[in-house]
Amino acid sequence: MQGVILLGIGVLLAACAQGGTPGAGGSAPEYRKITPEEAKTVMDGQEPFVLVDVRTKEEYDGGHIPGALLLPDADIERLAPDMLPDKEAKILLYCRSGRRSELAARKLLEMGYTQVLDFGGILDWKYGIE
């Protein structure tokens, strides 16, 4: 009997060490970098998504991917709650070269957004801009 009790305690301790009870929420979403080709596949698919350009207004006005919302990386924390109210939405981010989009993606993840995909810079985008 004592062995069964010790075995039960061991199983409980192991479960706690591995993150608690099953289905208890798991870890926060991680940063994900995808290629421009993968982003294009998402855009051409049937699932809804939000396309976000995190460059400055001047850069955006100089040419952007059709359908992109302008949300400069410097304003993410202030503007995202209003511009991106659904934290479960699939969000595709880009900037000029990829540095700002990575920073913006990480900020959004910290803010609780769950499906943030960074596809780098418009410099690597070969599917047309407006």
pLDDT category of residue 28 using cuts at 50, 70 and 90: confident
Tell me, yes or no, whether 11 lies in a domain. no
Select from 91, 85, 32, 100 the least CA-distant residue to 67.
91
Tell me, yes or no, whether 15 lies in a domain. no
Distance of CA 56 to the CA centre of its chain: 20
Q: Are 115 and 29 spatial neighbours (Cβ–Cβ below 8 Å)?
A: yes
Total tally of structural domains belonging to the chain: 1
Residue 65 belongs to domain with CATH number:
3.40.250.10
Tell me, yes or no, whether 52 lies in a domain. yes
70-103 pLDDT tens trace: 999 999 999 999 999 999 999 999 999 999 999 9
Annotate 91-109 with DSSP letters as a single string. EEEEESSSHHHHHHHHHHH
Query: Is pLDDT of 1 > 70?
Result: no
Those residues whose C-beta lies under 8 Å from the C-beta of residue 39, and which sit 6 or more positions away, are 92, 94, 117, 119
Tell me, yes or no, whether 118 lies in a domain. yes
Rounded to two decimals, the pTM is 0.79
35-44, long-range: CB < 8 A, 24+ apart: 35/119, 35/120, 36/119, 36/120, 36/124, 36/125, 36/126, 36/127, 38/117, 38/119, 39/92, 39/94, 39/117, 39/119, 40/127, 42/90, 42/92, 42/117, 43/92
Domain limits at 45?
A: 28-124
Tell me, yes or no, whether 41 lies in a domain. yes
35-50 pLDDT tens trace: 999 999 999 999 999 9
Tell me, yes or no, whether 14 lies in a domain. no
**What's the confidence (pLDDT) of residue 26?**
63
